[in-house]
Structures are given as C-alpha cells and as structure tokens.
C-alpha cells in the first residue's frame, strides 16, 4: 500500500476512535429518580402532554451519569447480616419496628433496584448508534497492480427525535416504578403495624387466660374446702376442675398465638432476630375516629395505586407518540476514500440511503399502542372503583368493631366483672351453687374474648384504612 493509502486509513481509524472513545462527565437529566418519602404520598395528576418530562407524584429528577450506576451496583452486591435487636425502656415501640421493617424487608430493596434498573435503561435507549469503519479494496491484480485500496466510515442518523422519545417512555416507566416503590414501603409499614397491634391484643389474651387460670384454681381450692365441709357434692369439684383445665388450654392457645404473631413480625421485619419482649402500647386506647368522607377523599387523592395507574397512562401515551414516528426512515451515510495504484489517483465516494416505508409503516404497532392507551385509561377507573369497594368493606368492619368495643368497654365488661366477683364471693361463702359460679365464669371469659376480638378487628381495619388499603408486602410482588 502506498503512502497516501496509509495516511487515509490512519485518518479514518483516528476519526472512528474519537467517536468511539469514552466520554467523561456525561449526564442525562431526567433518568435518575430520588425515592419519595413515605410520609408524603403523591397527589394524583394526569399530565396533559405525554411528552412532558414532569413526573407523576413524588418523583424528583436529578443528574444522572455512569459512575452513579457503578456505585449503586457495588452497594447492591453488599449484603449485611441483620444485627440482633436490643430494646431498652418500657418495651418495643411501633416506630422501632417500622424502621427495622423498612430497612430490612427485601421487597423494599426489590422495588428500589427496579427503579435503578430503569435509570440504566433510560440512559441506554437514548444513546446514538456507533459509527462503522472498515477496509475496502477493489480491482486488485489488474495489470499487476494493487488496485484500489482504502477505507470507509459510516454512520446511522436517527431521525424524528426517536431517541428522545425513547427516553420519554422510560422516564414514565421510572415514574411508575417510583409509585410502586412508595406503595411497597406503605405495604411494609401497614403489615408491621398490623402485626404490632395483633401482638398487643394477643398479650391481652394471654393476661386474660392467666387470670382465668388463677380464678379457676381458686375455685377448685374452694370446692375442695367445701367438699371437706360436706357442703357441696363431688360433682361440683369435678366440674370446677374441668373448667380449670379448659382455662389452662385457653392460656396455652393464647401463648401459641402470641408466639406466631412474633414470628410473623420478625418475617416482616426482614428476618431480623427479634427476641420476645414486651411491646410499648395499650390496645384499649382507641385510635382517632375515621369518617367515610375523609377516608375516601384521602384514598382517592393519595393512593399509590391510582398514581401507578396514571403513570402507566402517561407511559402508554408516550409509547404511542414513539410508535407514530417509527416509520420515519433513519438516514445511513457512508464515506470511503481509496487510492488507485494503477493511476496514482485518490478516489472518494459518498453513499446516503434511507429505507422506503412502502409496506411497513408500523401500522400494527400504532394500533397496539392506541389500544394500550385505552387499556391504561380504563384501568384508572377500575382501580378507583376497586379501592371504593375495598374501602366500603373495611370501613363497615371498622364501624361495627368500634361500636362493639365502645359498648363492651363502657357497659358489658364492667357488669360481667362485677357479676363474676359477686358470684365468686358467694360461692366461697357457700351462698351460691357451683352452677351459678360456672355460668358467671363462662360469661366473664366469653365477654372478654369477644371484646378482644372486636378490639383486634378495630385496630386491623383502622390500620388498613390508614395505610390506604395496602398490605401483604411479602405476598404482593412489586411489578
């Protein structure tokens, strides 16, 4: 090859190398999303312009570049073993449990990793195609010469703003993933609260069962004294012993329930070693009242489920805009330079080509995107109606439980306790028969258990309504 051909090839290689080389300090505004705080859920708005970059809900745009991805990947690979929980003072608080669950529950990390993955996708889909370089030769051996020797460089030029529209679509996917992350955090928070209040009520059941066992033991001792004095038949002693055994079984059941609640709480907290300990709180102190109008208004304006559906509508609209420009042909250009050894001439050629959209104009893709917009639009209404239906059931259970708890705590329980105390004293004095004692004891136990069941239902439904009906963090996989 002659000196001219070598110089031409070197120039092409140098130009391509500059195009392919790494570029430091690149940034892509809009691809990075900072997770929103859980305590401030998004206001629901539908963007009027599908191409706008303003996010839905709590999404905050920030600078994004490649080193951030590298650091995040390194952090994602670091897995730390959970440390045992040490709690001092009056007991384990609900705030401590929430912090443990949000920090260690794997579904939160899953949802956050999904956001980071989409950030990388947003960076990738907007990159320009790489240039093409190569060696070309022709007419070699003609008249014993080397023929035409040289190189070429080509580039595809993406038209109609396709790359920007690609990033607009992925930005909407990031907005949706951010809403899923907010919903996931809220599910974890609701689940840990449900377990916490259930454990508080379970503690009350254990205390009630212990008091019943103690009272049944006193009744057995009293029956033995009365048997010795020949004031009651042996059948009375046997019946009080049966009631004592029933009370012991009830206490064992209550303790097993409490142990199961602690295991469930540990699972929601992310397999943190959660030692059995007292909980700080009193379930008999009722939560603030909830009205239907306030609960419904808060649910329809702050629910991450509605915000997720609206983010999907934004994504489908941007996908439709992207599909409409798919048929606009991209331009392929190529420049080649060759040296003709036979004539000692330098030859240059230029090629420019575009595909002709004669048969494939992305008609099917456009129709699909239009249908997806319709699906996403109707899904918003479906989610709203579903939330309304679920809220109706939860609010009905909450209202019924609240009325039941208030009636039991102010009227029924005091009377049952006073009746049981009077009958016990009368039985010890030999003034009341054992049948009256057993009836009063059963009434007292059943009344308290019904009260605790209503209290459990009250806290469960209040917590679900306060948590925007989002629970089941370990069973609902982030989408």
Q: Is the pLDDT of residue 14 over 50?
A: no
Give helix then strand counts, H and E, for the chain: 11, 6
- CATH number of the domain enclosing 423: 1.20.1600.10
Would you say residue 44 has pLDDT above 50?
no
Task: Tell me the pLDDT band of 355, cut-offs 50, 70 and 90.
Answer: very high
Residue 54 lies in a domain: no
In a domain, 376, yes or no: yes
Calculate mean pLDDT across residues 136-158.
87
pLDDT in tens, 357-387: 999 999 999 999 999 999 999 999 999 999 9
428: which 2 tokens? 């010890």
What are the pLDDT digits (tens) for 440-478? Answer: 888 999 999 999 999 999 999 999 999 999 999 998 776
Residue 410 has pLDDT above 50, yes or no: yes
- Quick one: DSSP state of residue 144? G
Position 299 confidence tier, pLDDT thresholds 50, 70, 90: very high
Q: What is the pLDDT of residues 187-208, one digit of tens each?
A: 999 999 999 999 999 999 999 9
pTM: 0.77
* E strand intervals along 35-79: 60-62
Per-residue pLDDT, averaged over 289-318, amounts to 95
pLDDT in the model for residue 6: 43
3-state helix, strand, coil in the chain (%, to 5): 60, 10, 30
pLDDT of residue 38 exceeding 90, the answer is no
Residue 380 lies in a domain: yes
Give the whole-angstrom CA distance, residue 326 versus residue 261.
55
Q: Does 476 fall in a domain?
A: no
pLDDT of residue 390: 96
Q: What is the pLDDT of residue 143?
A: 77
Write down the pLDDT at residue 90. Answer: 66
pLDDT of residue 7: 43
Confidence of residue 236 (pLDDT cuts 50, 70, 90): confident
Residue 75 lies in a domain: no
Structure tokens that stand for 475 in this block:
């069973």
Is 442 domain-assigned?
Answer: yes
pLDDT in tens, 240-278: 888 889 889 999 999 999 999 999 999 999 866 788 888
Farthest CA pair distance, the chain: 138
Across all residues in the chain, what is the average pLDDT? 82
158, part of any domain: no
The DSSP code sequence of 432-458 is S-HHHHHHHHHHHHHHHHHHHHHHHHH
* CA atoms 413, 418, 419, 421: torsion sign: positive
Q: How many CB atoms lie within 10 A of CB 44?
A: 21
User: Confidence class of residue 342 from pLDDT cuts 50, 70 and 90?
Assistant: confident
- How many domains does the chain divide into? 1
CA distances from 257 to 198, 200, 251, 410, 473 (A): 10, 11, 10, 27, 21
Show the tokens assigned to 80: 């730390």
**Residue 210's domain spans which residues?**
177-324+364-466
Q: For residue 250, is it within any domain?
A: yes
Range among 347-351, 357-361, 392-396 with highest mean pLDDT value: 392-396
pLDDT above 80 for 71: no
Q: How many CB atoms are located within 10 Å of the residue 387 CB?
A: 18
pLDDT bin (cut points 50, 70, 90) of residue 231 is confident
Q: If pLDDT is split at 50, 70 and 90, which confidence band does 177 have?
A: very high
For helices 162-228 and 434-466, angle between their N-to-C axes, nearest 10 degrees: 170
The residue behind tokens 């009205």 is 291
Which residue matches tokens 């039985």? Answer: 427
Q: Is the pLDDT of residue 22 over 60?
A: no
261 vs 111: CA distance, rounded Å: 26
């Amino acid at each position: 090859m002659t000196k001219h051909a070598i110089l031409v090839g070197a120039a092409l290689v140098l130009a391509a190398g500059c195009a392919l080389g790494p570029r430091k300090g690149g940034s892509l505004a809009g691809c990075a999303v900072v997770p929103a705080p859980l305590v401030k859920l998004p206001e629901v708005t539908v963007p009027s312009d599908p191409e706008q970059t303003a996010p839905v809900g709590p999404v905050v745009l920030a600078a994004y570049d490649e080193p951030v991805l590298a650091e995040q990947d390194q952090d994602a690979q670091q897995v730390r073993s959970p440390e045992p929980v040490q709690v001092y003072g009056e007991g384990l608080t609900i705030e401590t449990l929430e912090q443990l669950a949000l920090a260690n529950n794997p579904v939160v990390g899953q949802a956050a990793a999904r956001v980071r993955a989409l950030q990388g996708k947003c960076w990738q889909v907007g990159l320009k195609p790489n240039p093409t370089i190569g060696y070309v030769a022709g007419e070699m051996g003609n008249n014993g010469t080397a023929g035409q020797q040289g190189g070429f460089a080509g580039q595809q030029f993406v038209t109609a703003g396709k790359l920007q529209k690609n990033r607009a679509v992925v930005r909407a996917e990031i907005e949706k993933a951010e809403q899923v992350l907010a919903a996931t955090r809220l599910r974890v928070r609701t689940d840990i609260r449900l377990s916490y209040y259930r454990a508080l009520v379970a503690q009350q059941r254990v205390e009630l069962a212990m008091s019943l066992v103690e009272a049944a033991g006193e009744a057995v001792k009293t029956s033995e004294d009365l048997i010795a004095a020949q004031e009651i038949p042996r059948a009375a002693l046997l019946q009080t012993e049966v009631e004592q055994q029933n009370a012991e079984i009830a206490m064992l059941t209550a303790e097993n329930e409490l142990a199961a609640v602690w295991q469930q709480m540990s699972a929601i907290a992310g397999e943190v070693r959660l030692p059995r300990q007292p909980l700080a709180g009193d379930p008999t102190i009722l939560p603030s009242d909830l009205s239907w109008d306030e609960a419904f208004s808060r649910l329809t304006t702050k629910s991450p489920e509605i915000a997720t559906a609206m983010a999907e509508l934004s994504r489908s609209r941007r996908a439709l805009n992207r599909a409409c420009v798919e048929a606009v042909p991209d331009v392929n250009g190529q420049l080649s330079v060759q040296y003709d050894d036979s004539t000692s001439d330098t030859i240059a050629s230029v090629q420019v080509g575009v595909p002709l959209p004669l048969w494939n104009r992305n008609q099917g893709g456009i129709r699909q995107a239009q249908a997806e917009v319709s699906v996403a639009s109707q899904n918003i209404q479906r989610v709203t109606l579903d939330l309304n239906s679920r809220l109706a059931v939860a609010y009905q259970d909450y209202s019924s439980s609240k009325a039941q708890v208030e009636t039991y705590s102010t009227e029924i329980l005091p009377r049952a306790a006073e009746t049981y105390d009077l009958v016990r004293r009368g039985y010890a004095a030999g003034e009341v028969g054992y049948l009256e004692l057993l009836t009063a004891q059963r009434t007292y136990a059943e009344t308290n258990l019904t009260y605790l069941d209503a209290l459990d239902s009250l806290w469960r439904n209040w917590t679900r309504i306060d948590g925007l009906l989002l629970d089941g963090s370990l069973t609902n996989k982030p989408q």
